[in-house]
Each structure stands twice: as structure tokens, then as C-alpha cells.
Amino acid sequence: MNIKNMSLEQKIGQMFIVGFESPYVDEHITKVIKECHLGNIIYFSRNIKDSKQLFEMNKELQKMALSENNAPLFISIDQEGGMVTRIPKGATFFPGNMALSAGGTSEDAYKQGCYCGEELNVLGINMNLAPVLDVNINSDNPVIGVRSYGEDPKRVSAFGTSYIKGLQESGIIATGKHFPGHGDTSTDSHLDLSSVPHDKKRLDQVELYPFKKAIESGINAIMSAHVVFPAYESENLPATLSKKVLTGLLKNTLGFNGLILTDCMEMKAIDTYFGTEKAAVMAVEAGADLICISHSLNKQVQAYNNLLDAVKTGRISEERIDESVSRIISIKNKLKIDKFLNSSFEEIETILNNETHKEFAQKISEQSITLVKNQQMLPLKNTEKILTISTNAISTTGADDSLSERSIAKVIGNGFKNFYNEVIDIKPTAIQVEHIKEIATSFDKIIVFTYNAHLYREQAELVSKIYDINKNLIVISMRNPYDIKAFSYVPCYAAAYEYTPISLNSLIKLLKGDIKGSGKLPVSL
């Protein structure tokens, strides 16, 4: 593959990563590959039924791209682990970053990168949009939270660089995100534009530190944040659209010469204020190599046409396009596409079903469970009558996957017979609260599984009302561990960091006394 043999249209196509809705090769993805010379794909859980379907679809798409454009695809996915896991079945379900940080070491992060990379590689996925390198220093952050390794920049860096090393040694392009740092925001950029107002000294010590170390370690790609950084950009432009941030800071100051890709350009922080299609051109002007548009066919086609027109009219030089495309092609030339295309699903199943990977994931999960406080509440006794209260399993940010198949009640029901469960909304209704108050005295112990109660205060208020009636109260946070700040009086509190199949299994062991809950908090409470 040589840039000299590519038309301008083909080169522009190489600069887009797009998503589509189906778990099969549909008209949408076929159109952009054939008519827009698309070079790259992003998957979500909507695209994945099982590992075999994913494997076959990747083969079909790679063959189509090679036939149409004589270039393979970057096939990317957000397989962060934990709450952001796009392949929930047919591959190992790994803990998320904060759970890994609570229960493991940087060496474990390296192993997880290796194991995850091996599985993605044989499935035909060559780019993982991970790890998150954001330092979660803001407890009110609604979108990063447990996706971060913690609040200490050095710890985030140690775990992040180790994971990157493992992932890239397995042949996967690692992608650090969200540059220059999304950890100290109280707004989800999926929903609105936010700002990190700190000066350059503070940014250098905290937000930028893990990215600098990742660059030193040879990370292949970095994803930009749709967040404004006034210390570097005087106009109200998010990092994704700021030449001062992407070119001035990331390329020139920090010396990064890998791939710069944008977060999805349909997120409200971009689409509402700048328009996805127009912003695609602005991002390339700022220094981005790859423009991610995850959903709308119309927006993808129009953005492609806008960038093509920008070159034809002289707004962007073809030399600028060549700079990005040369970088893209140099990495694609290293991909072992032929090896994947010549493999069979039967050959790769042993890697997908590797017991070492699964045992590792469960071990880290069990070690991550953190028993912050226990005044003789745990372990539970079989003779006790237990009430469990759990929130509906819902996605709280645009990055989350569907949680519909995850049930605390079902798992606990398999472990304890003398228990009753009440399911509440993430913001409990007055009727739900009154019902729980009525029955609260009838139980020996009550377990409340909170889900970001520090952000959804109605959950914290429910905990308070239960405690007034029954002091034998256990609270377990199923996402951000900051919940206890809202009810420090409870006699027993544990942090699970994620509402996932493996964390539920680990919690049963905690409740039974099979594990001690020895995880270490990666954030301050």
C-alpha cells in the first residue's frame, strides 16, 4: 500500500472512522466503504451478537475494503473493561480500570493488556480505544469515574503504560484517551461542552502526566477530548478543534508523532456548538488524523464531502492530508491482515476460551472488592432474613453499554435462599421509598446496592430513611466509590467499582465470607 497510488478521494476516506447500527454488513457500511472509500470502523455492542459473528463480519469487511480501496481497515472498539465492554460474551470479560487499580498491580495491567490484545487480535480487531488515561480527581465527574485508574497521576501512568505495553505487544493499536484530560470535569461531553480551567503548571503535573509517560512508552494513538482548556486555547474551542492543543501541545511540545483521533464528533459537545460535519474539517485543521463519526450515515457522508471540498478549494492543502494518511498507512502496513484472513474460527477458539485469561479476570475482580467499613455486619449468616435493594441496571453515560442482562437479585438468589429483593429506579420514587420504609423492620439485615448515589441524591436519601428504621444496614456501591461521602454513618460499606458479571460473582463471595474485601481505594473518600 503506497500513498502515491491513492486518489485524493481514497486518501480522504482513510481519515474517517465510522460506526453503523447492524450486527452484519448492511447497506450503510457498504455505502461508505464503496462510495466514500472508508478506511476505518468503530464497533459498539449493537454490532456484536457473539464472537463467531464478529469474526466473520470482520473478514467480510476487510475483504470488501481491500477490494474497493486496496487498503485494510482499522477496526476499532472501546474494550476498556468493566462498564465499557463492547464484547460481553465469547471473550474474556475483564475488570475496568478502577477495579484493576484497586485489586491489582501495574504488572497485572500489563497482563490484562496482553490477554485482551490476544483475543481482539484473533477476532480481527486491530485497534482498542483504550486505555483511559484521565486522572479522576473530581468526584462529581459523571463520565470518567471508574473508567480511570484513580486520582494519582503517577498511579494512572504506571497502570496505563503497562497496559499499553501489553496491548501493543499483542499486535493491537493502543489509544490513550481523552487528551489533554477529562478527569476534572463535572459535565459529560456526550451531553455538553465543558472546561478544565487550570493553569499550565497544574495541567502539566496532573492531567498531562499520564499522557507524557504514554508518549515516552511509544503509544500508537491518542484520542482528543471535547473539552475546553483555556490555559492553551483562548477561544472557546474544545481540544478536538484546537490547533494550539493538538498541534502546538501534543505534537510540538510533547513530541507525539503517532495517530491523533477524535472522540465521536456526534457527541453534543461538538454537534450542538459546531456541527459534526463542519467540525470534521476543523479537527483536521487542528491536527487530527482520524475523524470518528459513530452513528449517522448522513453526517458521515457530508463530513467526508466537506473535507474533500476543503482540499479542492484550497482551505486545506493536500500536503496536510498526505501527512495524516502517510502516518495511517505506515501503521496499516505493519498489520498482519493476511494472517487473520487465512485463519478459521475453530483455530482461534482456544484463545477466546483461555482459562488463564478468565481466571486472571476473576482473581483481579475478587481482589478489587474493597470493604471500606465493617462493624460486624459481614459475612452474612444463612439464618438471617435479608432484604436487598438494587437500582435498575441502566447506562448513565454515553460511553456505557447496555446493562439489561445484569441482575444483582438473580445472582444473590443463587447464593442465599432467605432473601427478598426490591428493585428501585436510579432516582427512587416516593412510592418506592414508602414501600421500603414499611417493610424495613421485618429484616435482620438490609443491603442497599447504590449506583452513583453521590450524583443521584435520591438514593442517598433512601439510605438515610432506611437507617432511621433499621440500623443493620450494608451499603455496596456498584460504580463510583464516592457514595459513602453521602452516608458516612452506615455501619458497613463496600466498593465494587462496577456492575458487571464478574463483580457480581465477587460480591457473593464477600457476602459469604469467602473473600475479605481487601481491595485498596484508588481515590480519596
CA 339 – CA 316 distance, rounded (Å): 37
Q: Please answer whether residues 388 and 417 qualify as being in contact, where contact means their C-beta atoms are separated by less than 8 angstroms.
A: no
Q: What is the 3-state secondary structure (H, E, C) of 169-190?
A: HCCCEEEEEEECCCCCCCCCCC
**CA-based diameter of the chain, in Å?**
78
Q: Are strands 74-77 and 40-43 parallel, antiparallel or unpaired?
A: parallel
What is each CA distance from 387 to 29, 207, 391, 405, 447, in whole angstroms? 48, 42, 13, 21, 6
User: In sequence order, what E strands does 418-488 have?
Assistant: 419-424, 445-450, 473-477
**Size (the chain), residues:** 525
CA 195 – CA 216 distance, rounded (Å): 27
Q: Considering 190, 226, 295, 454, which one is annotated as catalytic?
A: 190
- Residue of 121, 229, 139, 152 lying closest to 186 (CA atoms): 139
* Half-sphere exposure at residue 398, Cβ-oriented, CA atoms within 13 angstroms: 15
Q: Considering 188, 263, 400, 401, which one is annotated as catalytic?
A: 263
Helix (H) or strand (E) holding 473: strand 473-477
What phi and psi values does residue 127 have, to the nearest 5 degrees?
Answer: -140, 120
Residue 454 bears catalytic tag:
no
Partnered with residue 473 across adjacent β-strands are 446
Q: Which residues of 73-83 are buried (b: 16+ CB within 10 A; e: fewer)?
A: bbbbbbbbbbb
CA 398 – CA 392 distance, rounded (Å): 17
Q: Where are the alpha helices (DSSP H) in 208-275?
A: 209-216, 243, 268-271
What phi and psi values does residue 128 have, to the nearest 5 degrees?
Answer: -105, 125
CA dihedral 63, 64, 67, 68 (to 10 degrees): -160
CB atoms within 10 A of CB 352: 19
Dig out the grid coordinates for 149 from the structure. 485508574
What is each CA distance from 357 to 119, 332, 353, 366, 465, in whole angstroms? 10, 28, 8, 14, 43
Dig out the grid coordinates for 332 from the structure. 496499516
- Residue of 201, 290, 288 lying closest to 237 (CA atoms): 288
User: In sequence order, what E strands does 241-363 have?
Assistant: 259-262, 291-293
Dig out the grid coordinates for 390 from the structure. 438494587
Residue 263 bears catalytic tag:
yes
**Catalytic positions, written as ranges:** 190, 263
